[in-house]
């Protein structure tokens, strides 16, 4: 079975309430019903409910940028997976900014993954190496460590599971990985998934590339056999650019 492509837009901590609503409206107008692809918008947490309301009845889906593993309690500022249930379809876990700005560990990522899977939401599990790790030839080992740690308590992957390969040196820097480098790393992600869960789940697992994706480089990245979609930061804040990226992926993967 061919893997269904997926493009997600990570808005990070950008856009006030009215700008977010305007963007959702423009994207619904440009992307609703786009065939053969999943499109996911990941706004800041305060705009999740409004975004979900606005997208109801459309083909676009909603994702959270982060989650906490405990179901409830004295955890000021955190949002639990239970609170996201019914509100979002996807949850980004292990984004490099969570790992490297907020100090999240591989163990934290594993607990978040367990919480999200346990409640039937679809994770977008982000992994990727730092520039110095790539330069030291450690990329395969870093991906293996991050994935194996995240999967520590996972027995089976749900249908359509998403891993986002995001080299840290490419995020928000304008330094996109070449399609060849991205393909090599995404193929490695799939190999690790195969070793852990078997060939079937690995073939079904969707692997995104993320890191300075834009309307110009999206098609070449999506043309790679192990790249099933894109995780987009900066360019997802621009309706025209994000629409073009989604259309490029749909066209490339559909052809």
- Which CB, 193 or 231, lies closer to ligand PEP? 231
- In the complex, minimum distance from the CB of residue 166 to ligand PEP, in angstroms, rounded to a whole number: 5
Give the one residue of 6, 7, 10, 162 binding ligand PEP; rule: CB under 6 A.
Answer: 10
Place of tokens 């949850």: 91
Tokens 């593993």 found at: 69
Residue nearest to ligand PEP (CB): 233
Q: Which of residues 172-231 bind ligand PEP (CB under 6 A)?
A: 172, 210-213, 231
Sign, Cα dihedral of 40, 126, 227, 154: negative
Element (H, E) at 208: strand 206-210
> Footprint of ligand PEP on residues 233-252 (CB under 6 A)?
233-235
CB 156 within 8 A of CB 120: no
Q: Please say which residue, 36 or 172, places its beta carbon nearer to ligand PEP.
A: 172
The catalytically annotated residue of 129, 144, 166, 188 is: 166
167 binds ligand PEP (CB under 6 A): no
Q: Which of 125, 97, 113, 112 is closest to 13 using CA atoms?
A: 97
Q: How far is it, in rounded angstroms, from Cα 57 to Cα 190?
A: 33
Min. distance of Cβ 244 from ligand PEP in angstroms? 14
**Residue 95 bears catalytic tag:** yes
CB of 62 or CB of 197, closer to ligand PEP: 62
User: Integer distance in angstroms from the first to the last C-alpha of the chain?
Assistant: 15
Query: Closest separation between CB of residue 50 and ligand PEP, Å?
Result: 21
How many residues bind to ligand PEP according to rule CB under 6 A? 14
CB 174 within 8 A of CB 219: no
3-state secondary structure of 181: helix
Using DSSP's 3-state secondary structure scheme, residue 211 falls into coil
Which residue's entry shows tokens 């996911």?
A: 40
Known catalytic membership, residue 14: no
Q: Binding to ligand PEP by residue 166, rule CB under 6 A?
A: yes
Site residues, ligand PEP (CB under 6 A) = 10, 12, 166, 171-172, 210-213, 231-235
Q: Which residues are catalytic?
A: 95, 166
């Amino acid at each position: 079975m061919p893997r269904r492509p997926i493009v997600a837009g990570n808005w990070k901590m950008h856009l006030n309430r009215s700008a977010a609503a305007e963007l959702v409206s423009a994207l619904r107008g440009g992307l609703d019903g786009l065939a053969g692809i999943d499109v996911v918008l990941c706004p800041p947490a305060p705009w999740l409910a409004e975004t979900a309301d606005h997208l109801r009845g459309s083909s676009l889906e909603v994702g959270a940028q982060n989650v906490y593993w405990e179901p409830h309690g004295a955890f000021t500022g955190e949002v639990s997976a239970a609170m996201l249930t019914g509100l979002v379809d996807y949850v980004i876990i292990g984004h490099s900014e969570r790992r490297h700005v907020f100090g999240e560990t591989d163990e934290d990522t594993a607990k978040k993954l367990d919480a999200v899977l346990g409640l039937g939401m679809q994770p977008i599990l982000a992994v990727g190496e730092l520039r110095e790790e790539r330069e030291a030839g450690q990329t395969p080992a870093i991906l293996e460590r991050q994935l194996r740690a995240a999967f520590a308590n996972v027995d089976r992957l749900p249908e359509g599971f998403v891993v986002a390969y995001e080299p840290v040196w490419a995020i928000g820097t304008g330094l996109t990985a070449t399609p060849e480098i991205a393909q090599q790393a995404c193929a490695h992600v799939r190999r690790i998934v195969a070793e852990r869960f078997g060939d079937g789940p690995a073939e079904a697992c969707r692997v995104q590339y993320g890191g300075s994706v834009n309307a110009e480089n999206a098609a070449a990245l999506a043309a790679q056999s192990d790249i099933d979609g894109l995780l987009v930061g900066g360019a997802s804040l621009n309706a025209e650019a994000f629409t073009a990226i989604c259309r490029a992926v749909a066209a490339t993967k559909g052809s």
